Amino acid sequence: MLAAGLGLFLLLLPRAGLPARPDSVNCSQGLSCRLLEDDVLCSPGAVELASGPVLVPTQMTMESVLHCAAASDCFPCVQINLQLAVLGPQEEVAGEGTQDGPGMDALRHQDSGPLRSWVLLSVWMNPFSRCVAIEVQLPRALARPNSTVGSMWFHCFKAALQGELHVTSYTSPRYREVLRQTHRVPDCSWPAAWAAIRVCQVPRLQIFVGPEHVVVQLQDVPAGQNFFVWFYWNQTHQEEGLRIERGLQNYSLPSAQLLPCLCLQVWPDILDPLRTSLCPFTKEPAAWTRLWAQAQLKLYLTGEKLSCSVSAPCMVPADLVPCWRLKSTGPCHELPHLRQALTVPGLHEFGTLQPHPNLCVQVWSGGQVQLMQCLQEGALRGQPADLLLMETRDPQGNILLCAVERGTCTPLANSTCMGVGVGALEQQLRWDVQSKQCVQVWPAEGSVVGTGWACSLEKYLRAHWALAWLGVLLSTFCILLLVLLKKENLKGWLKMLKEDYSPGGVLQGRRALILYSPDHAGFERLVSTLACALTRLQLAVSVELWSRAELCAIGPMQWFHAQRLRVLQEGGTVVLLFSRGAVARCTEWLLWKPGELLPRDDPCSAFSASLNCILPDFLAGKAGGRYLVACFEDLLQPSDIPELFRSVPIFTLPSQLPTFLLALAGTAAGREQKSSLKKHSLWISDSLQRAIRECQLQEPDGHCPPQASALPGSGQVLMGAKSEAGELFPPMGST
């Protein structure tokens, strides 16, 4: 009866010339199974309606294994695992129908015997296919309808490395949907493959980088086996070969060819071999340095259109950034919303951007500028000292002007890009824009940031310097007059001139990170006054006010970690500048309990984010020598600072400014340096007192009134400090 049933759906195929297959089948406890045929012609057929309980596969998994004739003579194959379950009577698959297929009556289960099922496993891997038939039995006493009763393992279908197998499983007759799954066999990188599969036994590559040559050594070469080694450039669109070597075990290349895209491929000298590829220099710093040394950035002018191209021996992940540079040695300020991804090779156009002598293009990669090229002076309309302004309009239609600096738009009152304040010239610049005396760099059409204007400040700077020279002459005349009137004081006056009051070099080589809570615009102007004064003493100052665009782009936590790591590595100091807002944020963190919501952080403020790292240092007693605490005594009393932060020195400013400067100078400060710092504390103290009074005049209770500071990205970012009595600006190198 079994032979008659199988004859209805199994057609044996010829087996002459085929190697013996490693076929075996096993079942879990309670099930019995045996392999009926290992190569048959099979087809799923239509779904039939079961008149009683039937045994069917419900889940299929696959695993790549090795089948070995000897220890080092193996081939990959795929092992199949099927979960079997009892399907209850009168169940059918939706949409499949209930037609009876051929052979159904002959294969119907008997009520008195065990449940018997014929499972078919079909595998297809181009260009071969194969199907096996397996008989599975389950005692009727163990049959539980609609429940899993055990597993069956088939070992195994022979496969090729990197081959893709498509496997289906079903019963005959078929009582439910066909199980389908695809499995991919690993390549020679499979840990078990190298020692067991002969075609995977290729040598290992060892790279030795010297000052002038790169040596590639083949190791673990099988005896009597020859290999080819191909050196090539791995590009996105093509693979350009350098050379192919054969038969050697050591290969040498000039160091000039050591680039990130240099790859090697090794294969044995046999028919249709597998190839092993390796690109060992993709993360080599010296290779990237050599790549950028060979790369070139070129700018093109086609009529009134600016374009550029980059030639490099490798494809590089980089961005093209148009920027505006006022001085040949000064920084180049990124133009907003014009950055684009670099494609090598390819011509990149910058839309409606008009050529100008101050325009440059930078190539950014790895977080820094790798290439920069500027347009030639004299061949273009405009002056090299033009100020770049951006014109926008408010909802009422009024014209708003701001200066493009550090990738953002800064109000003219706070602009320092010319080295002097241009806030006093705002009305004149507004008139120049309206009267078209400025050169348009990009139009409002097609731009998301308004119109760009390049306005010359030469006439204003000439007037500024004329007044400055007049002031110098008047001052000199007054001094000479005083000398003539008081000759007895001449000696003391000359002695005073010999005193060193120059700011340069007093804190040179030291670094500080100032952390503060941006309570309002008035307090940020006060912080900027302090930071500007410290930079004049050659202290490298990091403050979020001058890096607002970078902080908003990468996030406050990443910005703080980078600045703190750099400051501490260079032996610098982290200054916690407390205000009422800072005290409130610290109190929220100190009173926080597990299970409560964390205090909400400002996405463009580093102070709240920094508390995650600062508080553990103070709690662990590791703050000494790293941190200083300060506050402005007229705005906050030292007693209001949380007790936790009193483990380090607390300075009230400006009364304790001399000792504060000495603490920033460190223990290595000499006698002359300490004396100079005390002298400089006088003018710094005056600047701070003027800035504090400007806040207090507006509000008698001593609080600086909050002002409407725009959200990040609106262009209203404070970049310096300005008061009625004078101006202080951060140097171009400040971060």
pLDDT digits (tens, 9 = 90+) for 162-201: 889 999 999 988 888 999 999 998 887 787 777 777 777 7
Q: pLDDT tier at 136 (50, 70, 90 boundaries)?
A: very high
> What does DSSP assign to residue 14?
P
Q: Which of 190-199, 298-307, 440-449, 650-659 has the lowest mean pLDDT?
A: 440-449
Looking up tokens 């009168």 gives: 90
The rounded distance, in Å, linking the Cα atoms of 473 and 401 is 36
Q: Do 203 and 217 contact (CB within 8 A), yes or no?
A: no
**Omega cis (within 30) before 76:** no
User: Per residue in 618-653, pLDDT tens?
Assistant: 888 888 888 999 999 988 899 999 988 988 999 999
Of 63-72, 400-409, 455-464, 714-723, highest mean pLDDT: 63-72
pLDDT computed for residue 630 by the predictor:
95
At residue 66, the pLDDT reads 87
**462-520 pLDDT tens trace:** 655 566 777 788 888 888 777 776 654 455 444 434 444 444 556 788 899 999 988 88
Q: Residue 289 class from Cβ within 10 Å (0-12 exposed, 13-18 middle, 19+ buried)?
A: exposed
- Tell me the pTM: 0.43
Q: Return the SS3 of 505.
A: coil
> Please, what's the largest Cα pairwise distance for the chain?
137
Rounded distance, CA 50 to CA 56, Å? 11
* Residue 391 Cα distances to 397, 401, 405, 433, angstroms: 12, 5, 14, 9
For residue 221, give the DSSP letter: P
Which comes out higher in pLDDT, residue 711 or 37?
A: 37
Give 414-451 as a 3 state SS string: HCCCCCCCCHHHHHHHHHHHHCCCCEEEECCCCCCCCE
Q: Which two tokens stand for residue 286?
A: 């010296």
Cα 291–chain centre separation: 21
CA atoms within 13 A on the CB side of 574: 31
Label each residue of 561-608 as H, E or C.
HHHHHHHHHCCCEEEEEECHHHHHHHHHHHCCCCCCCCCCCCCCCHHH
CB burial of residue 337 (10 Å; 0-12, 13-18, 19+): exposed
Q: Which amino acid is at 560?
A: F
Q: Residue 397 above 50 pLDDT?
A: yes
| Range of lowest pLDDT (26-40, 269-283, 589-603, 678-692) | 589-603
Mean pLDDT for 99-123 is 63
* pLDDT for res 83: 93
- Residue with the bigger pLDDT between 252 and 95: it is 252
Alpha-carbon separation of residue 675 from 75, 492, 624, 682 (angstroms): 82, 19, 25, 12
Q: What is the pLDDT of residue 81?
A: 95
- CB-count exposure of residue 17 (10 Å: 0-12, 13-18, 19+): exposed
Residue 383: is its pLDDT beyond 70?
no
Q: Report yes or no: 194 and 203 within 8 Å, Cβ to Cβ.
A: no
Most confident segment among 78-87, 254-263, 486-495: 78-87
Burial class (CB in 10 A: 0-12, 13-18, 19+), 611: buried
Average pLDDT, integer, range 406-413: 72
At 271, list the tokens.
Answer: 């028919």
Confidence of residue 78 (pLDDT cuts 50, 70, 90): very high
268 within 8 A of 226, measured Cβ to Cβ: yes
**Confidence band of 393 (pLDDT split at 50, 70, 90):** confident
Mean pLDDT of all residues in the chain? 77
Per-residue H/E/C for 367-381: CEEEEEEECCCCCCC
Q: Where are the beta strands (DSSP E) in 220-311?
A: 227-234, 239-246, 250-254, 262-268, 276-278, 296-302, 305-311
Mean pLDDT value of segment 240-246: 66
Q: What's the confidence (pLDDT) of residue 109?
A: 44
| Terminal-residue alpha carbon distance, the chain | 89
Check pLDDT > 50 for residue 67: yes
Q: Write the pLDDT tens digit of every residue in 574-611.
A: 999 999 889 988 888 888 777 666 666 667 778 888 88
Decide if pLDDT at 721 tops 50.
no
pLDDT at 154: 94
Tens of pLDDT, residue by residue over 207-218, are 888 778 888 887
Q: 117-132: per-residue pLDDT in tens?
A: 999 999 998 888 999 9
The rounded percent of the chain whose pLDDT value lies above 90 is 17
Report the pLDDT value the prediction gives residue 725, as an integer from 0 to 100.
33
Comparing 296 with 498, the larger pLDDT belongs to 296
d(C-alpha 206, C-alpha 212), whole Å: 17
Structure tokens at 93: 């698959």
3-class secondary structure per residue, 308-359: EEEECCCCCCCEEEEEEECCCCCCEEECCCCCEECCCCCEEECCCCCCCCCE
* pLDDT score of 631: 94
pLDDT score for 493: 44
Task: Label residue 372 exposed, middle or buried (CB < 10 Å: 0-12, 13-18, 19+).
Answer: middle
Q: What is the pLDDT of residues 277-292, one digit of tens each?
A: 778 888 888 889 989 9
Structure token pair of residue 3: 């032979």
Of the listed ranges 28-37, 89-98, 570-579, the one predicted with least confidence: 89-98
| Mean pLDDT within 114-118 | 90
Contact 213, 85 (CB under 8 A): no
The helix-helix angle for 580-590 and 606-619 (nearest 10°) equals 60
